[in-house]
C-alpha cells in the first residue's frame, strides 16, 4: 500500500493554500509561498492537515505520524532509505509478466488534473508516473475497493504483440468517460497509453527515421526533434491519446514488452544523455548479466552530445548499422 499512500500524499499537500508539491518517486519539489506563511501557515498546521486527510482518505489507516524534514543532512539520510525501498519494489515488480496475471489494475488519481487519463497497471507496464507497480495496485484495490485504484478483468486478447485486451478497453471507456476507447499497452503509435500530469519520461516517435526517442524530465536541452521535455509534456500529458507520444515510467523501460509493437529497444534511436547515464548505472549496479543485450543496445544509442539534428541522427545510424 505504501506506493498508493505515497502518491496521494502529493495531492493532499497540494490542497494546502499557498503550497505546491510535485514528484515522481524521489524527485520531489515542494514550494511554500511567503504569503501563506504571512497568513499563518506553519509546519505544525501542515502536519495536522496531512494526518487528518490521510485518515480520511484511507480508512484502513489507524494512526498517522507526520514528520517534516528541512535539514539537508536529514533529507539525504531519508533519501538513502527511500531508494533502498524503491530498489526492493522494482526487483519484485520485474519478477512477473502480463501473461501470468489474472487481472490488471487501473488508477485514476491523476484525474484531478487530467480527467480522461486512466493508468492501466500490469506486471509488464507499471504506472506512467513510475510510482505504482502491479503488486502495489493489487494491494491497494483489495484494501480500498472504493478508492482510486481498481481491478480490471483482462478479457480476450485482441492484439498480442501490441498488448490489446477487450476487458482493458471496456474499463478504459467507462473510466475515461468515453474519451478514449482503445489502448495498446505495448504500442507508441497505435492507440498508445495516455499520460497524466506527472511522469518521468516521454517516448516519442521520430517518423523521419522510423525510430523511437526517449527524453527524461531532468533533461534541459531539446531532443533531436527540437522539442524539450516540457514542450512535449504539454501535448503528451493531461489524458489526450496522441499517436507517437506517450509518457512512460522508468521500470517499463526494463520490460521486454516495452513498445514491442514498434520494435522495442531495437528501434530506440535517440535517448537523452541524463536518461542514458541513469539507465546504465541502474543496470550495472543491479543485474548486468540479465540485461546484457539491453545494456549494449543502450550504450550504442546516441544522445544530444553525439547528434545535433535529424540529419546527423540518420547519418549516425547509417554508420552504425
Ligand atoms: S500516473 Fe497513473 S498510477 Fe500514477 S498516480 Fe497518476 S493515474 Fe495513478
Among 109, 114, 137, 237, the mutation site with the greatest number of ligand 1 atoms within 8 A of its Cβ is: 109
Confidence of residue 6 (pLDDT cuts 50, 70, 90): confident
* Shortest-distance atom of ligand 1 to CA 198: 1
Q: Using CA positions, which residue lies closest to atom 5 of ligand 1? A: 109
Spatial CA neighbour of 158 closest among 135, 124, 139, 182: 182
**Span 99-137, pLDDT tens digits:** 999 999 999 989 988 999 999 999 999 999 888 889 889
Average confidence (pLDDT) over 209-217: 96
Average confidence (pLDDT) over 211-231: 94
Q: Which of 11-15, 113-117, 196-200 has the lowest mean pLDDT?
A: 196-200
Distance 252 CA to ligand 1 centre (A): 14
Beta bridge partners of 52: none
Average pLDDT, the chain: 92
Cell numbers representing residue 77 in the block: 539520510
Instruction: Domains for the chain: give ranges and CATH numbers.
Output: 2-68 (3.30.1650.10), 93-320 (3.40.970.20)
Confirm if 49 and 43 have CB atoms less than 8 A apart.
no
Average confidence (pLDDT) over 220-232: 93
More confident residue, 206 or 7: 206
- Given CA atoms 277, 281, 284, 287 in this order, what sign does their dihedral have? negative
Among 132, 136, 140, 217, the mutation site with the greatest number of ligand 1 atoms within 8 A of its Cβ is: 132
For the beta carbon of residue 82, count every other beta carbon within 10 angstroms.
14
Confidence of residue 212 (pLDDT cuts 50, 70, 90): very high
Residue ranges of alpha helices (H) inside the chain are 2-14, 34-38, 43-57, 72-93, 134-143, 166-175, 229-236, 250-253, 273-286, 292-300, 310-320
Confirm if 141 and 105 have CB atoms less than 8 A apart.
yes
* Shortest-distance atom of ligand 1 to CA 110: 6
Distance 60 CA to ligand 1 centre (A): 21
**Span 44-62, pLDDT tens digits:** 999 999 999 999 988 889 9
Q: Above pLDDT 90, what percent of the chain?
A: 70
Q: Which of 5-9, 18-22, 194-198, 238-242 has the lowest mean pLDDT?
A: 5-9
Nearest-angstrom CA–CA distance, 211 and 266: 9
* Shortest-distance atom of ligand 1 to CA 195: 1
| 9, 60, 138 from 23: Cα distances, Å | 10, 24, 22
pLDDT of residue 295: 94
Among 8, 12, 128, 133, the mutation site with the greatest number of ligand 1 atoms within 8 A of its Cβ is: 128
* Shortest-distance atom of ligand 1 to CA 128: 1
Confidence of residue 159 (pLDDT cuts 50, 70, 90): very high
pLDDT of residue 210: 95
Distance 5 CA to ligand 1 centre (A): 12
Length of the chain counted residue by residue = 321
Among 7, 144, 183, the mutation site with the greatest number of ligand 1 atoms within 8 A of its Cβ is: 7
148's CB contacts (< 8 A; 6+ apart) are 4, 8, 107, 108, 109, 111
Query: How much is the pTM?
Result: 0.81
Nearest-angstrom CA–CA distance, 201 and 224: 15
pLDDT of residue 305: 95
Nearest-angstrom CA–CA distance, 49 and 230: 32
Q: Using CA positions, which residue lies closest to atom 6 of ligand 1? A: 110
Q: Which three-class secondary structure state does DSSP give residue 37?
A: helix
* Shortest-distance atom of ligand 1 to CA 119: 2
Average confidence (pLDDT) over 246-253: 92
Q: Is the pLDDT of residue 10 over 90?
A: no
Distance 108 CA to ligand 1 centre (A): 6
Q: Is the pLDDT of residue 263 over 90?
A: yes
For the beta carbon of residue 121, count every other beta carbon within 10 angstroms.
26
Q: Which residue has the cell 506553519?
A: 42
The set of protein residues with a Cβ atom below 6 angstroms from ligand 1 is 7, 107-110, 119, 127-129, 131-132, 196
Distance 196 CA to ligand 1 centre (A): 7
pLDDT of residue 43: 96
Nearest-angstrom CA–CA distance, 74 and 28: 15
| 206, 215, 304, 315, 316 from 320: Cα distances, Å | 18, 21, 17, 9, 6
Amino acid at each position: 500500500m505504501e506506493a498508493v499512500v505515497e502518491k496521494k500524499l502529493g495531492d493532499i499537500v497540494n490542497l494546502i493554500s499557498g503550497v505546491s508539491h510535485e514528484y515522481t518517486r524521489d524527485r520531489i519539489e515542494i514550494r511554500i509561498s511567503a504569503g501563506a506563511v504571512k497568513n499563518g501557515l506553519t509546519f505544525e498546521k501542515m502536519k495536522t492537515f496531512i494526518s487528518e486527510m490521510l485518515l480520511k482518505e484511507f480508512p484502513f489507516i489507524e494512526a498517522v505520524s507526520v514528520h517534516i524534514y528541512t535539514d539537508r543532512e536529514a533529507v539525504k539520510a531519508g533519501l538513502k532509505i527511500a531508494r533502498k525501498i524503491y530498489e526492493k519494489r522494482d526487483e519484485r515488480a520485474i519478477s512477473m509478466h502480463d501473461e501470468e496475471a489474472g487481472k490488471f489494475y487501473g488508477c485514476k488519481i491523476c484525474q484531478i488534473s487530467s480527467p480522461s487519463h486512466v493508468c492501466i497497471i500490469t506486471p509488464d507496464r507499471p504506472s506512467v508516473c513510475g510510482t505504482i507497480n502491479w503488486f502495489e495496485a493489487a494491494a491497494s484495490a483489495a484494501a480500498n475497493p472504493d478508492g482510486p485504484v481498481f481491478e480490471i478483468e483482462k478479457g480476450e486478447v485482441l492484439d498480442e504483440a501490441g498488448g490489446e485486451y477487450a476487458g482493458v478497453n471496456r474499463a478504459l471507456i467507462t473510466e475515461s468517460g468515453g474519451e478514449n476507447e482503445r489502448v495498446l499497452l505495448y504500442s507508441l503509435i497505435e492507440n498508445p497509453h495516455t499520460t497524466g500530469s506527472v511522469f518521468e519520461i516521454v517516448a516519442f516517435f521520430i517518423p523521419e527515421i522510423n525510430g523511437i526517442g526517449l527524453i527524461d524530465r531532468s533533461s534541459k536541452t531539446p531532443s533531436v526533434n527540437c522539442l524539450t521535455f516540457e514542450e512535449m509534456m504539454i501535448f503528451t500529458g493531461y489524458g489526450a491519446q496522441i499517436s507517437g507520444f506517450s509518457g512512460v515510467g522508468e521500470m517499463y523501460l526494463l520490460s521486454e514488452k516495452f513498445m514491442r509493437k514498434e520494435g522495442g529497444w531495437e528501434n530506440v534511436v535517440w535517448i537523452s544523455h541524463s536518461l542514458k547515464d541513469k539507465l546504465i548505472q541502474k543496470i550495472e549496479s543491479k543485474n548486468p548479466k540479465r540485461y546484457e543485450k539491453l545494456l549494449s543496445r543502450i550504450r550504442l544509442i546516441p544522445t544530444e552530445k553525439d547528434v545535433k539534428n535529424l540529419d546527423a541522427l540518420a547519418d549516425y545510424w547509417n554508420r552504425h548499422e
